[in-house]
Chains A and B, each alone.
Chain A
Amino acid sequence: MDFALTPEQHQLQNSVARFGREYGDFAAWRRMVAAGHAFDTGNWRHMAELGWLGIAIPERDGGLGGTPVDTMVVMEGIGCSLALEPFVSSCVLAPALLAGAPVAVRETLLPGIAAGEVFVTLAQAEPNGRFDLSHVETIAVPHGGGHVLTGIKSHVMDGATADWFVVPARTRGEMDDTDGITLFLVAADAAGLVRENMRGPDHRHNARLTLDGVAATALLGSLHDGLAVLERAVDAAIAARLAEAVGAMDALRDMTLDYLKTRQQFGVAIGSFQALQHRMVDISTACEEARSMTYQAVLSLSLPRLARRRAISAAKARVGQTGMFVGHQAVQLHGGIGTSDELAVSHYLKRLLMIDLSFGNADHHRALFTLAEDSLALEMAA
């Protein structure tokens, strides 16, 4: 048992930290979002040059074949600097979704993703499905040797800038069946696809897709059997998101502690007041909990399905909760200035709000945790 990073991972961590110092300037970030950009394309290019975009891509597909811990190290840095680059969707989620894709598709997309030239994301959420991955109403019907897709994908993370979508669609069964879900690759410029772009409170550029008889470019993996791959890929993405949350939470903690030591009221630093000291301790404890949960989640990705579900959902629930706590308390302890747009604090809060939402919020994952916990208990008893 060991929670230490390898020397290579330490090196990566240093280079991520250096990147954050050089390119993670908050004033530049504000100018970038004010100009309506989805993210900083210059930063993205640098990340590609450093090899980071290929960390979660196997070597045979032009990536570095790294581990979830490597991804975690990068994502902490991204969370710390509020970076909006679509790393989770294009570089973690997409490669996992493409794991079972035909060689031709992998050869076309994965090296491009690693080079930062191709953007792929998942179009999963539907209007009536809330956070349920198995709720798929979008229909795929055979047509001319392939499939055409019809349905609505209501929230597509980083969807505004994606070139390709991985779209789960129903090839048989009813809308909540776990069987009968198939993953398709759809080009962003395919005929019959309407994309409405919108940005989140965290300035991430997402999209809503309406598909009306859209021809899929390829079927990924096996017919009817896409849910297991989808769940695995989403779990890898969740682990990465949690690391982003930890980076954001630690940054907020440090800013808030610094503020408590410098802000003077009643002739003293406000950090001399016990009510605020105790709140600050609770913030630090929340950060420790979130980090512990994130390690737990990252190390669980290779476990069997139920154990992985329990671990990932426990972590997603708790990091969501502790993240919101830290976000709210950081604003509170900063007082009026904490509510202003020009200070980073409020932007971290909005990022943490969106992280809790992504891939299902804390309540959703508490419910999934319960199901997994009870199933595991039955297995043990049997």
Chain B
Amino acid sequence: MNLDFTPDELQFRDEARAFFAANVSEGLRARVRTGTRLEPAEYIQWQKTLAGHGWAAPTWPAEHGGTGWSPTQYYIFESESARADAPQQYHQGLELIGPIIFTYGTPEQREKYLPSIRSSDHWWAQGYSEPGAGSDLASLKTRAIRDGDHYVVTGQKIWTSYAQVATHMFCLVRTDTTVRKQAGISLLLIDMKSLGIRVRPILTLDERHHVNEVFLDEVRVPVADLLGEEGKGWSYGKVLLDRERGIACASGLRLGQYVRVVKDCARGVRVGRKSLLDTAIFRDKLAQIEIEMVALEYMGLRTLADAVAGLDSGPRASMLKIRWSELLQRITELWVEATGYDAANFALIGSNQGEPLSGNMPHPVMSYLHARVTTIYGGSNEIQRNVIARRSLGL
């Protein structure tokens, strides 16, 4: 047992540190540091910066244009990125569909899609949830009916992140209604410019437009854009499970960025002669979170070490998702708490519109509100608990 990096890993750490020092602009760093959520254009720009350095796809194998890094290198990359207040890469193309394409896609599909994911010339949205299929995703109803060389797709998707800017959507559809519900599902790669697609924005509780409804009305999708085999769409998600370990491990690292933001905020808030950060009750709450983050970090490292050694981590990736999202929510709750009365000043009205607000508002409240989604998306924490109970505890 040891926590040491090898000389090669240390050298790589220095290389990554130098890269982030040189390539994260002050503007970008300031936005990350104040907890501002990035716009798609900023994600794209950052992705292009990484791509220019050959680091577009840190979790992909080299044969598919990835870096071919070991899990430890990926961890080092992510921890240096978080340390330098660099943004996280946008994940839906890179982590959710890219690996399915290079694992199950045809050579033509790989060639057509993978380079544009790496360069972020394509922006992928995930078409999974439907109004009647949330936690019970396999009951999805969007129909795809074969018509010659095309599927004709009709139905509705919901909670589709960034569909308003997406060039493509990977979409679970029902190709067979006569079999067990999981067995009738296929995965289609859909061009968002196709006729019959309508995107309707959904304003979320943070008053932002991240997610959408996507209506599909007899959208014609070439059969060449069926991923893998018809009826196997449900099973392709499994390839992501193993990969999630590394990502779950790395996401914990980003919590440290938020804690720095909250500390900076609390340091600047006066409570009489003291700063809020020096008041015992506030500091103690923060310390409790920081302690739980240490536990999360080491759960992540153990999971990572298992991945390196090719060992099964059991349910630890699901546990990491639960603990990470719970902690993020608590950190953002504390951020709002730190701002005090400023939290009430969500926006200026009248002639001052556009002026900056004190307390870095509205970012604390927006982040707090947006964080509510983290215990819901990617399989709600209750679903995660169901999964752990069934698969790992045998209940």
Contact = CB atoms under 8 A, between A and B. Distances in A.
Asked if A pairs with B, the answer is yes
Interface string A271-313: 1101001101110110011011101101100000000000100
Contacts of B315: 281, 284
Contacts of A293: 294-295, 298
A1 interface: yes
Interface residues of B, number: 37
Contacts of B301: 1, 3, 292
Contact of B287 (A2, A288, A369): A369
Contact of B395 (A3, A271, A314): A271
Nearest to B382: A278
Given A1-B305, A370-B287, A69 B1 contact: yes
Contacts of B291: 314, 317-318, 366, 369
Contacts of A314: 290-291, 294-295
Contacts, number: 107
A292 B395 contact: no
B305 A3 contact: yes
Contacts of A288: 299, 316, 319
B1 A277 contact: no
A277 B299 CA distance: 22
A69 B382 CA distance: 36
Contact of A285 (B72, B304, B323, B394): B323
Given A1-B301, A373-B287, A261 B395 contact: yes
B1 A299 contact: yes
Given A1-B305, A278-B389, A280-B393, A289 B283 contact: no
Interface residues of A, number: 38
Contacts of B385: 277-278, 281-282
Nearest to A298: B1
B386 A292 contact: no
Contact of A366 (B288, B386, B389): B288
A277 B305 contact: no
A292 B291 CA distance: 12
A322 B286 CA distance: 18
Interface in B128-170: none
B320 to A, nearest CB: 9
Nearest to A319: B295
Contacts of A296: 294-295, 298
Contacts of A69: 1
Contacts of B290: 314, 369, 373
A257 interface: yes
B316 to A, nearest CB: 6
Name the residue among B292, B294, B309 with the largest chain A CB count within 10 angstroms.
B294
B338 interface: no
A260 interface: yes
A55 B261 CA distance: 45
A1 B10 CA distance: 12
A284 B302 contact: no
Name the residue among A272, A284, A298, A369 with the largest chain B CB count within 10 angstroms.
A284
Contacts of B395: 257, 260-261, 271-272, 277, 280
Interface in A97-144: none
B295 A284 contact: no
A-B interface, 10 closest residue pairs, ranked by CB to CB distance from nearest: A292-B298, A277-B389, A289-B295, A370-B287, A292-B299, A281-B385, A271-B395, A314-B294, A278-B385, A296-B298
